[in-house]
Chains A and B, each alone.
Chain A
Amino acid sequence: MFALTELEIEAILLSLRVAFWSMLFSLPIAIAMAWLLARQRFYGHALLNGLVHLPLVMPPVVVGYLLLLLLGRNGALGAWLWDWFGISVAFTWRGAAVASAVMAFPLMVRAIRLSLESVDIRLEFAARTLGAPPLWVFATVSLPLMAPGILTGAMLAFARGFGEFGATITFVSNIPGETRTLPIALYSLTQVPGGESGALRLLILSVIIAMLALFASEFLARRVRARMEG
């Protein structure tokens, strides 16, 4: 009964790909942003913090539409990207990854920032008195100590990307094989007569995948913690 259909496999692989790349690309930016917000004081700190959190409080459809305006072939940024690099993300799986990344960004930054704030800044001072320049200190002291938080942030972003619907469908539409991710495929099935059994199968699949991801991250987090406590 549970042999996967071609369409299901396509939707799952696409969702995984979108979630993976959106997580991977936003990770370094989120770490830099977390560092900026946690360790630096500058003019406009509150504004930047608000901006980062915006996708969390705005309706996803609004975010998706904003992305379309900004990154569409005729958008401010999109036109520039197309003219100079011949790159367009609108209506492609990359666009879906961008939408997922934007939606997941606040969650990721929050998790990483919390972990950085819990790193004792006095350890960083100690490292500097030993002769290490700030970037080295960040890479060898702060970053390893933030590992559990980074893992949590990445996991949250991955889950968010895997399930992202509103911003994605608004920005890159519902193109089979290109932008029809698992939630969008599920939504499509609920819109056609007789699609209920297919929708139910996708529902069960997404629950299974979500559980697997949770177990994997829990396992990793435990290993990281065990290493730390030696």
Chain B
Amino acid sequence: MIEVDLHKRLGDFSLDAAFDIGRTGITALFGRSGAGKTTLVNMLAGLLRPDSGRLRIGGQTLFDSSKGVNIKPERRRVGYVFQEGRLFPHLSVRANLYYGRRFAPRGERYVEPRQIIDLLGLGGLLARRPATLSVGEKQRVAIGRALLSEPRLLLMDEPLAALDAARKSEIMRHIERLRDEVGVPIVYVSHSLDEVARLADHMVVLAGGRVIATGSAVDIMSRPDLSPHTGRHEAGALIETRVAGHDTFGLTALDFPGGVLRVSGLDLPLGTAVRARIRARDVAIATSVPHDLSILNVFQGRITEMIPSGAAAMDLQLDIGVKLWARITRRSAHELGLAPGREVYALIKSVAIDRHSLGLALPPRRD
């Protein structure tokens, strides 16, 4: 359990953050730039001294202004993966990876260096110097270096910001495996909903230095009242599914409580838990069973809520077994005579759900 209650004033900006994080999984610290995300993680790492408050990790107090406790960063055992990697340029990859290991208490080691090096695919890079690595490789080394120092908490501050889409996806696959196989709690700072949808189990939403929501990623990403903070165009729902089959047309069927969602082929074994983010703007509405239509994903449901969105749009919350959001024009809503309680059909284009919107969910815990 990580308990955070920290306050800091920096010029005109003030940060007040209080929330708890579980011992496992990835917690996304989400917010626009300037929301105070980096300020907060720097305080968690001990690189920035809060004005007041408390910070506890696994029962140990790292900061408590009322008791005058402020553990130095080198004694916190909080790993930090920086946006720019920050590898030591004069050391080899191997020396970078092992830099913090000598300081990790022997009795509390849980990381096997060889396993991490294999997991992150660093075996062939060990003798190289950081200057000769690509941006993606540097970031993988930075993640490995933080893990080999045996952290009790791993902070990642927008580790993918400098990468292109293909590299992002590759590193996210590595981070998913770390979460599942290493089991260190991760605080993942991001302003990208795609990354959060794919990786996060929990979410803390920051805006203007305040925590405006905390909870499970699935719940928070499906809340339209947060869309001013998460981005209006990105508003939508997160649905937990399971791979049910692959067809000969290159589509994968995902089972969920509302039926079967067909998406572009996923190279995943049957039964794999997958989270799909469905943007409200990718969902259309019909009032009768549609015929002669290219859209494969049609779900029957009921309108539970209608919220005007912007000048001309209307957001509909639908219950199709799970919560779903649809964004249509107000004109359509009027012409179709839509109202809460009304039975409708939700139409989702398969190709609208791309790989970036799909994440491997945290597997069920064995303990």
Selected contact of A132 from candidates B78, B89, B103, B130, CB within 8 Å = B103
Q: Are B89 and A145 in contact (CB under 8 A)?
A: yes
Min CB gap B132→A, angstroms: 6
User: What is the interface size of chain A, counting residues whose CB is below 8 A from a CB of the partner?
Assistant: 21
B146 contacts across to A, CB distance below 8 A: 129-130
CB contacts under 8 Å to B, within A103-150, are 120, 122-123, 125-134, 140-141, 144-145
Q: Quick check: is B100 within 8 A (CB to CB) of the other chain?
A: yes
Q: Are B90 and A227 in contact (CB under 8 A)?
A: yes
Q: Are A128 and B74 in contact (CB under 8 A)?
A: yes
Q: Can you name the residue of chain A whose Cβ is closest to the Cβ of B84?
A: A122
Q: Are B74 and A133 in contact (CB under 8 A)?
A: yes
Selected contact of A130 from candidates B92, B103, B130, CB within 8 Å = B103
Interface centre among B75, B89, B92 (most CB of A within 10 A): B89
B128 contacts across to A, CB distance below 8 A: 230
Q: Are A123 and B86 in contact (CB under 8 A)?
A: yes
Given A125-B73, A132-B103: A230 in contact with B92 (beta carbons within 8 A): yes
Q: Are B82 and A126 in contact (CB under 8 A)?
A: yes
A230 contacts across to B, CB distance below 8 A: 92, 128-132
CB contacts under 8 Å to A, within B29-57, are 45-47
Interface centre among B78, B88, B104 (most CB of A within 10 A): B88
User: What is the interface size of chain B, counting residues whose CB is below 8 A from a CB of the partner?
Assistant: 32
Q: Quick check: is A83 within 8 A (CB to CB) of the other chain?
A: no
Q: Can you name the residue of chain B whose Cβ is closest to the Cβ of A230?
A: B129
Given A122-B82, A229-B129: A131 in contact with B88 (beta carbons within 8 A): no
Task: Mark contacts of A63-80 with chain B using CB atoms, 8 A cut-off: 1 yes-contact digit, 0 otherwise.
Answer: 000000000000000000
Query: Bound state CA distance, A145 and B72, in angstroms?
Result: 24
B132 contacts across to A, CB distance below 8 A: 230
A144 contacts across to B, CB distance below 8 A: 90
CB contacts under 8 Å to A, within B68-120, are 72-80, 82, 84, 86, 88-90, 92, 99-100, 102-104
Q: Quick check: is B145 within 8 A (CB to CB) of the other chain?
A: yes
Query: Bound state CA distance, A133 and B76, in angstroms?
Result: 12
Min CB gap B122→A, angstroms: 16
Given A125-B47, A230-B128, A230-B129: A131 in contact with B77 (beta carbons within 8 A): yes
Q: Quick check: is A207 within 8 A (CB to CB) of the other chain?
A: no
Selected contact of B74 from candidates A122, A131, A141, A228, CB within 8 Å = A131
Query: Bound state CA distance, A123 and B131, in angstroms?
Result: 15
B84 contacts across to A, CB distance below 8 A: 122
Q: Are A228 and B89 in contact (CB under 8 A)?
A: yes
Query: Bound state CA distance, A144 and B91, in angstroms?
Result: 10
Min CB gap A125→B, angstroms: 5
Q: Are A131 and B90 in contact (CB under 8 A)?
A: no
Selected contact of B103 from candidates A123, A131, A134, A145, CB within 8 Å = A131
A145 contacts across to B, CB distance below 8 A: 89-90
Query: Bound state CA distance, A227 and B91, in angstroms?
Result: 9
Min CB gap A135→B, angstroms: 11
Q: Are B80 and A126 in contact (CB under 8 A)?
A: yes
Q: Are B82 and A131 in contact (CB under 8 A)?
A: no
Min CB gap A221→B, angstroms: 15
Interface centre among A128, A132, A133, A145 (most CB of B within 10 A): A128
Q: Quick check: is B230 within 8 A (CB to CB) of the other chain?
A: no
B92 contacts across to A, CB distance below 8 A: 230
Q: Quick check: is B149 within 8 A (CB to CB) of the other chain?
A: yes
Query: Bound state CA distance, A194 and B128, in angstroms?
Result: 63
Listed from nearest, the 3 A-B pairs whose CB atoms lie closest are A230-B129, A130-B100, A131-B103
Besides A130-B74, A229-B131, 13 other A-B contacts (C-beta < 8 A): A120-B86, A125-B47, A127-B100, A128-B47, A128-B73, A129-B46, A129-B73, A129-B79, A130-B99, A130-B149, A131-B102, A132-B100, A230-B131
Point out residues on B near A: beta carbons under 8 Å. 45-47, 72-80, 82, 84, 86, 88-90, 92, 99-100, 102-104, 128-132, 145-146, 149
